[in-house]
Amino acid sequence: MAADNIWLAAASSSVAVAVLTQVFSISREKLAHRTDQRLSALHVALALENYAGECARVLGEKETFIANDGHHGQDWGSVPALPEWPAAIDWKRLGIKNTEKVFTLRVQVNAANAKIADQYDNDPPNGGDGDVIDEAIKLGLQSLSLAASIRSTAKLDPLLASEWPLDRYLAERRDDRALKLERRLADAEARRLANPSGMPILL
């Protein structure tokens, strides 16, 4: 009887050890998976944030060029191309939804540059200037929003605040341009109402 109890105790102990070993193994695998996921997310978020910075740089230099009649700034004729993604990214770890959004961004960048090129072709020499500015703002803000979402999903710290926050700068330029467009449209409508015939007004 005592021998049976010893055997049962030994068997139970072996089972317990096997279970604990399996639990620890699963825990290590989950931890490794989580670490890989967060590392991939960090690579993508940083790349997106860097791209937003490039969009802000193009925006600033283009507006400076226009405001100074070409004497300062740079005459950008497109938005920045997206760089190649770091090879360290494991897209499966990032998840299908985030991966789809990131890959779609490249399509949107290419479409924006095609639109800008078409505007320059149809209305040279400055027909695409406004589109360069508007698309740089839009893509920069979109990149920052996507990076923030990826950071949140992976439980990463948010982008460090700076004295010159990109999101605020881009949003302010977007709102300022929207306000100016609204005023131009209002002025055009006022002129139309003042001269419904459309005939030239002799001064």
The reported pTM is: 0.79
Q: Is residue 10 part of a domain?
A: no
Of the two residues 194 and 2, the one the predictor is more confident about is 194
State the chain's mean pLDDT as an integer: 83
Residues spanned by the domain of 47? 37-192
Q: Which long-range contacts (CB under 8 A, 24 or more apart) does 27-35 make?
A: 33/93
Share of the chain above pLDDT 90, in %: 60
Under DSSP, the state recorded for 76 is -
- Say which residues have a Cβ less than 8 Å from residue 121's Cβ, sequence separation at least 6: 127
pLDDT tens digits, one per residue of 79-134: 999 989 988 899 988 889 999 999 999 999 999 999 999 999 999 889 999 999 99
pLDDT for residue 167: 92
Q: Is residue 26 part of a domain?
A: no
Given a cut of 60, whether residue 26 has pLDDT beyond it is no
pLDDT for residue 15: 47
Q: Is residue 51 part of a domain?
A: yes
Q: Nearest to residue 143, comparing CAs of 92, 89, 82, 96?
A: 82
Kindly state the average pLDDT of the residues 12-35: 45
Q: Nearest to residue 43, comparing CAs of 91, 107, 81?
A: 91
Q: Is residue 82 part of a domain?
A: yes
| SS3 at position 180 | helix
Between 126-130, 133-137, 169-173, 181-185, the lowest mean confidence (pLDDT) is in: 181-185
pLDDT band at 1 (very low <50, low <70, confident <90, very high): low
Rounded CA separation 57/139 (Å) = 12
Q: Is residue 144 part of a domain?
A: yes
Of the two residues 202 and 141, the one the predictor is more confident about is 141
Q: Is residue 76 part of a domain?
A: yes
Q: Is residue 15 part of a domain?
A: no
Q: Is residue 5 part of a domain?
A: no
Residue 138 tokens, joined: 């839009």
Q: Nearest to residue 77, comparing CAs of 115, 108, 111, 117?
A: 117
Rounded CA separation 115/132 (Å) = 9
If one counts the domains in the chain, the total is 1
Q: Nearest to residue 40, comparing CAs of 81, 95, 83, 84?
A: 95
